[in-house]
Structure 1
Amino acid sequence: MKMIKKGHACVRLEKDGRALVVDPGAFTEQDAAAGADAILVTHEHLDHFDEGRLRAALDANPEARIWTLRSVADRIAAAFPGRVTTVGHGDTFTAAGFDVQVHGELHAVIHPDIPRITNVGFLVDGSVFHPGDALTVPDQSVETLLLPVHAPWNKFSEVADYVRAVSPARAYAVHDGLLNDLGLSVYARNLGPGGVTTGAEYARLLPGESVRLA
């Protein structure tokens, strides 16, 4: 499997000539979902969900499909009849040749006075986990964790403890669009070699960079 980092919280996974894109939101490239055969959306916040990017991808590929939770599906199903599947915690499905399991139900708490919305995470091929905006720990092993390093709803100690709880072989930074180079260097120092997360290899890919995953 090849993983390509897109802007902010979006990644593209490629296997056997097909592509799956997770969370092509408004903070990522305009063409982040271009060429996708399947698109997964974790929740409704604009940095993860952008209808224009979804529309462009589905218009370009009549076979492309979207899998997402009900709060997003209710907003776009009419625009894409027959091409949006609603999923929730515990569901499993196959999308563009990738086996996907759904974990989690709620977005992390941003503030007690801000209503909490729903959120799901996607475990792809039993290996790569994108939690969306939550620190969901799947009830099975994860090889590659897509780690939301920075958001209004988290702090560093929670991020570090999350890596320890999931215990992946490797963690790649996502949800990093609000950090400048100074902030990114602080995260790299504390999450990388000699940092506080034990056992997991930490790395951050620049948008457009890719890596091969076993």
Structure 2
Amino acid sequence: MKISKHVHSCLLVEENNNIIIIDPGEYSSLDVDALEKLDFILITHEHADHMHVPLIKKAVDKFPDVKIISNSSVAEILGKEGIKVLTEGNEFIEIEAMPHEKVLGKTPENVLFRVFEKLTHPGDSHSFDSTTEVLAMPVQAPWGSFVNSMEKAVKLKPKIVIPIHDWHWTEEARKGLYERATSYLKEQGIEFKAIETGEVVEV
């Protein structure tokens, strides 16, 4: 499996000739024009930092056969734009309702994705109690903390942690915190893999 990160929580996954985008939000650096193929878009919830409607519309315009998988609230929002959304997974994309952590105002529906039984992307949740060998872990948010995310990773014991939901930090802050995370998780037998924007890693 190849994974690249495109700012914040947006990941591009390549596996078995499938190209999958997860959480293409408003901070995403993803260049749809540079893609030659796109099979699936997975959206964990409706917040703009995870679902940027103009970016999704651009992707659908270029790849009209792309399948979008999310929850019912996202389906309703995108349905108003004439975009169909599936609310069930398939043989290699598992979708599970997972509570969004508490925020000020309305708390949206949130889903967790497991992709090819290898990558777990929980959206805006720390409430899940299992993971695949690669965990995309939200590390910074109004609803959670860096320490909580690291403690959760140690509890669940993935082989690899890829940090997501980190746009709000400066580059200097990320560097310092990720150095600490690398050392801390290594002691627990877990690899912390901080992917640079656009960098492709194989897991």
TM-score, with structure 2 as normaliser: 0.90
> What corresponds to 1:85 in structure 2?
86
Q: 1:32 offset after TM fit, Å? A: 5.2
CA distance in 2, matches of 1:107, 1:186: 27
CA distance in 2, matches of 1:121, 1:187: 25
Q: 1:59 offset after TM fit, Å? A: 0.8
CA contact (8 A) 1:2 1:212 kept: yes
Once superposed, which parts of structure 1, at least 4 consecutive aligned residues long, lie more than 3 Å away?
Answer: 32-35, 194-197
One of 158, 162, 181 as aligned partner of 1:168:
158
Q: 1:78 offset after TM fit, Å? A: 4.0
CA contact (8 A) 2:118 2:133 kept: yes
CA distance in 2, matches of 1:25, 1:152: 17
Indicate yes or no: 2:198 matched with 1:208.
Answer: yes
CA 1:135/1:76 → structure 2, altered by over 3 Å: closer, same or farther? same
CA distance in 1, matches of 2:80, 2:32: 22
CA distance in 2, matches of 1:199, 1:205: 19
Instruction: Describe how 1:143-162 pairs up with structure 2 within 5 A.
Output: 143-162=133-152
One of 51, 54, 63 as aligned partner of 1:52:
54
Superposed CA offset, 1:36-68 (max 9, x none) = 211000001000001111111111012111001
CA 1:32/1:191 → structure 2, altered by over 3 Å: closer, same or farther? farther
CA distance in 1, matches of 2:187, 2:76: 39
CA 1:154/1:147 → structure 2, altered by over 3 Å: closer, same or farther? same
> What corresponds to 1:181 in structure 2?
171
Superposed CA offset, 1:64-107 (max 9, x none) = 110011111101124335x32124xxxx424xxxx011233321
> What corresponds to 2:7 in structure 1?
7
CA contact (8 A) 2:119 2:136 kept: yes
CA distance in 2, matches of 1:106, 1:195: 26
Segment drifting more, 56-65 vs 31-40: 31-40
> What corresponds to 1:104 in structure 2?
97
Unaligned runs of 5+ residues in structure 2 are none
TM-score, with structure 1 as normaliser: 0.85
Number of equivalenced pairs? 201
CA contact (8 A) 1:191 1:197 kept: no
SS at match of 2:27: coil
Amino acid at match of 1:85: L
One of 128, 139, 145 as aligned partner of 1:137:
128
> What corresponds to 1:120 in structure 2?
111
CA contact (8 A) 1:126 1:142 kept: yes
